[in-house]
A and B are shown apart, each in its own frame.
Chain A
Amino acid sequence: MKTTTAKSLRVSKKEGVRKPILAFLKSLLTDAVFDAILIPMQVPAGDSYAWVLVKDPSLLDQANPLAPIMPVQGAKALKSLTRKGEGNLKIAAVMRPCEVRASVELAKLNQIHLESITLMSVDCPGVLPVADYFENPGESEKRFNAMLSENRWGNGSMKSVCQICEQFSILPSSDFHFGLMTGSESSVVLISSSPKGQRVLKDRSLDGSVSLSDWENGIESIRQERKKERTKRFREVQSMVEGFDGLLKTFARCIGCHNCQSACPICYCRHCYFGSEASKLDSDFILKKAEQRGGLSFPLDRRMFHVGRMSHMSLSCVACGLCSDACPVSIPVADVFSFVADQTQRTFDYKAGEKREEPLPIRQYRLEEIKGVEEWVKDAEGVES
């Protein structure tokens, strides 16, 4: 049984939400609730953010739980820490909901060990595309913070996948959540939703008389708007990518650098099939293919790479949009992948990273399921179903 406790942090309009959250996190370090906190931190040059595991509370001054960009997916940072097993420290990871979800997926794939990690999610207004941010970090920073303090959620300058994200708030898989008030209230609600999360609120002297309904209503109304937008966008993506020609056209510029894959938190394989010795064709075969078709595009198998990746990881895709950020030729990879992921996950009534206890769909089967596939085969053979 899940026990949920909620308390609230007072926020002054002028200060914004960042400072009170950091002060709260600092108190968790100094009171030894946690040994370390994993959180995005501004890099010394001030032109980007990086994940830092922080033990020294004074370092938290440069941290930002609501960084305007996501240059590295938080699940990757967590993977780099716990891929080989459980550590000895109690660690809190302060992440965006899609990062929490990717972490949960990687935990299911045995690439992350979550036993001593407390996943703390933050209501996420979205992040800016890194290319836009890097053009002028200082200006982007200001713009983002203004949007945050003025409660302008669902802003058009966020990444396209963020604009249609429905899972931007508390998740069944997070241990603890920072709820940002979307209305006029000036407070942050703190919600603990697991025994690990309970530890965080224990003995904190905070305002306990908090009613969650205002916050919940605010979140819900944003979610409804996103839902509408999502249906519309997916229709657009579908018409763009549908059919073989659509696929070719969408990925026509692809140079085969595989940046999308290496930025992807889910693509954890150390050595992808695409790029491996096994994927290399022999020259006679290449020549024969070129002869049959008149010509052959290089690097080879660029389209197959994308379709292969879709079928391999879309069940776990959390639509974080890192692939689009990493693409040097601005292909809307994330739009396509999140659309495909929506379809594949729907097939199994699965939402990547939402629930920890839900097993990965490809790891299991039921005797009676997914009728559609068989019927489709019958149709193709001309037998009436």
Chain B
Amino acid sequence: MKEPFHPKIVSFLCKWCTYSGADLAGTSRMQYPPSILPIRVMCSSRVNPVFVIKSYLSGSDGVLIGGCHPGDCHYQSGNYHTRRRIAILKKVFDSIGLETERVRLSWISASEGSKFARISEEFTGKIESMGENPTKKKVFL
């Protein structure tokens, strides 16, 4: 029998907002899927797009980048830069025919535990419907 597909989503979460949001979701006993593999970063702008590409090419089924809402960055403008970088990354993916939907940027504040749970749920569902990341089986990357 085929194993059911449990996606793995590498998630880069901003310490000040989204990571705290995830904490809140946990302490509030909200349910969200175990697919999220959180990596805490000091700011979403710490996420070098190469981290995202590397995660994708290493077989991560999805990559989530979580930051503070625009205007709320702890370092004032980090998340605006993140937005540009992810826009470029998605455009690059799009232009060479890779699945842009496997990369997602979301603004989740420290108080939005329920939003974190909802987005984890939504994104996991989306990835489940897309199926496994095809890079997992590629030897010649």
Contacts and interface: CB of A to CB of B under 8 A. Distances in A.
Touch between chains A and B, by CB atoms below 8 Å = yes
B62 to A, nearest CB: 25
A377 interface: no
Nearest to A56: B139
A44 B140 CA distance: 8
6 contacts: A43-B140, A44-B140, A50-B140, A52-B139, A52-B140, A59-B139
A43 B139 CA distance: 9
* Band of interface residues on B: under 10
Nearest to B138: A44
Nearest first, the 5 closest Cβ-Cβ pairs linking A and B are A43-B140, A44-B140, A52-B139, A50-B140, A59-B139
A43 B141 CA distance: 10
Interface residues of A, number: 5
A59 B140 CA distance: 12
B75 to A, nearest CB: 30
Interface string A159-179: 000000000000000000000
Contacts of A50: 140
Interface in A11-36: none
A197 to B, nearest CB: 28
Interface string B41-84: 00000000000000000000000000000000000000000000
A289 B139 CA distance: 52
Interface in B112-141: 139-140
A50 B139 CA distance: 10
Contacts of A44: 140
Nearest to B139: A52
Contacts of B139: 52, 59
Contacts of A59: 139
A50 B138 CA distance: 13
Interface string A52-77: 10000001000000000000000000
A43 B138 CA distance: 11
Nearest to A44: B140
Interface in A135-153: none
Contacts of A43: 140
A63 to B, nearest CB: 11
Nearest to A43: B140
Nearest to A50: B140
A43 to B, nearest CB: 6
Contacts of B140: 43-44, 50, 52
A327 B139 CA distance: 28
B54 to A, nearest CB: 15
Contacts of A52: 139-140
B57 to A, nearest CB: 16
A59 B139 CA distance: 10
A272 to B, nearest CB: 23
A50 B140 CA distance: 8
A102 to B, nearest CB: 23
Interface in A348-384: none
Nearest to A54: B139
Nearest to A42: B140
A104 to B, nearest CB: 27
B141 to A, nearest CB: 10
